[in-house]
Amino acid sequence: MKRIAFYPGSFDPLTNGHVDILQQSFALFDEIVIGIGVQASKKPLFEFDERAELIRASLGDVAQSSGVTLKVVAFQNLAVDAARENHATVMLRGLRDGTDLDYEMQMAGMNGTMAPDVKTVFLPSSPQVRPITATLVRQIAKMGGDVSPFVPNPVRQAMDEKFN
């Protein structure tokens, strides 16, 4: 059976924190579907197509050499429904700290009630990327800071183009 995991988030933009979780997941699954949550009411920094392209540019080659199929989709509905639509049996989430754990346990519990066929898998983030959040990356870039320690190269270039 093909192991398919659904990894939901906003990825606005992809950070080294997301990359760390995805690289770990390449050892566990045959296919990873990255679900970019899009909400009409929220104006993102990068549009869906840009976010998807930055994910492919940053991780496409690594996924391919690991023998993993990487897909990027948009979703607006419940993450468990989007996971099912993409034939995933696993919901993948990264854990940075105890705050993430408390929130993620609630989500996993409620998602498990709504969709017992989709199991949540938590992966712990590597120590060097634990503090990274996409929100802080956006703020640093807006104020002219160097985001290169926090994001893959294609994302840094795209942020340079947006703000300089």
DSSP characters for 74-103?
A: EE-S-HHHHHHHTT-SEEEEEE-SHHHHHH
Q: Say how many residues touch ligand ADP, by CB under 6 A.
A: 18
The C-alpha angle with vertex 67 and arms to 66 and 72, in degrees rounded to 5, equals 95
Q: Does 17 bind ligand ADP (CB under 6 A)?
A: yes
DSSP characters for 20-50?
A: HHHHHHTTT-SEEEEEEE--TT---SS-HHH
Cβ nearer to ligand ADP, comparing 1 with 126: 126
d(CA 137, CA 92) in angstroms, rounded, equals: 22
Within 42-101, the residues that bind ligand ADP by CB under 6 A are 93-94, 96, 100
Site string for ligand ADP, 97-116 (x = CB under 6 A): ---x----------------
Cβ nearer to ligand ADP, comparing 1 with 127: 127
Q: Does 10 bind ligand ADP (CB under 6 A)?
A: yes
Which residues are near ligand ADP by CB under 6 A? 9-11, 15, 17-18, 20-21, 93-94, 96, 100, 125, 129-130, 132-134
